[in-house]
Amino acid sequence: MLRGLYMAGCGMLAETVRNDVTANNLANANTTAFKKDGVALRAFPEVLIWYMREYGRPPAEPAGGAIPPGSLEGPIGSMSWGTAVDEIRTYQGAGPRQYTGRELDIALPDGCFIAVETAAGERYTREGNLQVASDGYLVLPDGSRVLGEKGPVQIGEGTPQISEKGEIIVNGEAVDRLRVVSSADPRQLTKQGNSFYALAEGAEEPQTAEDVRLQVGFLEGSNVNPVQEMAQLISLMRSYEANQKVVQAYDGTLEKLIGELGRA
């Protein structure tokens, strides 16, 4: 009985995580270059159930070869012990390109990222709505400095432009080039927040992207489908409620059992 209670509780915990991840996807449906997350579940190792011979049951075997009462007679089947969250995976599928016409908006090719300097160290992002801060540095909307081949990109005076090759041009002169990197295996990058990625433990440094072609005047949208995420939320809530009813049923059964034993 308690095994079923435990399995239902594990299911509720897993559905809670899936609900939080799906809700975050839905909340970032309009976030620039946001990549949706998904939850991978794993089942606990299954156990093999055997039929145990009942006490007092006549033996089916000939005399002398009878199996004593209380011993195992044969397998019935397997049974799961529940489920748990294995990992949260990020889907790196490209989002739709949205035309803005702004000279500092860029959309990156698939699998490419720009390097930025954050308070936590160097990170990578596909967010391309670049800005010039009051101190003359090229930054993202949150203030993180964009890195070029020479380090943090400082514009100085003048109106900057970005070429398709990633060159930063000020007053007709190329002052630096965006540090664009590529990662063949997305699993080498770990998502942090809604738009930043850090190197996974033991991963190699991403390679500098050669012959990169940026889409200037475009931004990459989120790859979240709001309709699918809303339908997923409804399905998750129903699954959670089903596990909740199982817990309530076991709770009522245990309460009745304890009450009857107390009166006995």
pLDDT for position 165? 92
pLDDT for position 196? 92
Asked if 58 contacts 68 with a C-beta cutoff of 8 angstroms, the reply is no
Angle at 130 between CA 124 and CA 197, to 5 degrees: 15
**Domain limits at 26?**
1-39+85-95+224-264
pLDDT for position 183? 79
| Residues 206 and 157 both lie in one domain | yes
| Residues 183 and 198 both lie in one domain | yes
pLDDT for position 62? 47
pLDDT for position 125? 94
pLDDT for position 71? 55
Q: How many domains does the chain have?
A: 3
pLDDT for position 51? 65
| Residues 29 and 62 both lie in one domain | no
Low pLDDT (below 70) residues in the chain: 1, 47-48, 50-80, 184, 262, 264
d(C-alpha 257, C-alpha 251), whole Å: 10
Asked if 217 contacts 105 with a C-beta cutoff of 8 angstroms, the reply is yes
